């Protein structure tokens, strides 16, 4: 009976230690659960690995586009592709359809409930 209690205590401590690796991994853009499991069972290996691991880049797809000529990902603001050097085509219509503040204000005014006074 004492062996089962010791086993559960070790597992509980391992789970708590796994939270450390999971939290560090999440801050670096990795999966919390995967690193939590890794840290629970192999904390002595997982902690140094996650500490030396480089963070994932946080480039959102909104800030970048693919070059239509070579397929490399570039910033929207780039006028030329970094790889092939070709000029980028003008913005398409859907890239220009951002509502201005005036349009939003007009829309909000249309949808306001009218006073019955």
Strand partners, 64: 75
Question: Distance between CA atoms of 29 and 48, rounded to whole angstroms?
Answer: 16
pLDDT of residue 115 exceeding 90, the answer is no
pLDDT of residue 64 exceeding 90, the answer is no
pLDDT of residue 62 exceeding 50, the answer is yes
Percent of the chain with pLDDT over 90: 39
Question: Distance between CA atoms of 100 and 105, rounded to whole angstroms?
Answer: 9
Q: What is the pLDDT of residues 74-83, one digit of tens each?
A: 887 778 888 8
Note the pLDDT of residue 49: 94
How confident is the model over 2-30, as a mean pLDDT?
92
Question: Model pTM?
Answer: 0.48
Question: Where exactly are the structural domains of the chain?
Answer: 2-52, 59-89
67 secondary structure, DSSP code: -
């Amino acid at each position: 009976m004492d062996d089962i209690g010791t086993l559960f205590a070790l597992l509980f401590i391992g789970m708590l230690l796994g939270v450390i690796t999971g939290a560090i991994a999440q801050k670096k853009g990795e999966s919390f659960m995967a690193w939590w499991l890794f840290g629970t069972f192999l904390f002595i290996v997982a902690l140094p690995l996650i500490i030396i691991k480089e963070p994932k880049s946080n480039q959102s797809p909104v800030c970048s586009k693919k070059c239509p000529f070579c397929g490399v990902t570039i910033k929207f603001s780039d006028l030329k592709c970094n790889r092939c050097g070709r000029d980028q085509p003008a913005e398409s219509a859907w890239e220009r359809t951002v509502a201005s503040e005036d349009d939003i204000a007009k829309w909000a005014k249309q949808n306001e409930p009218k006073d019955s006074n």
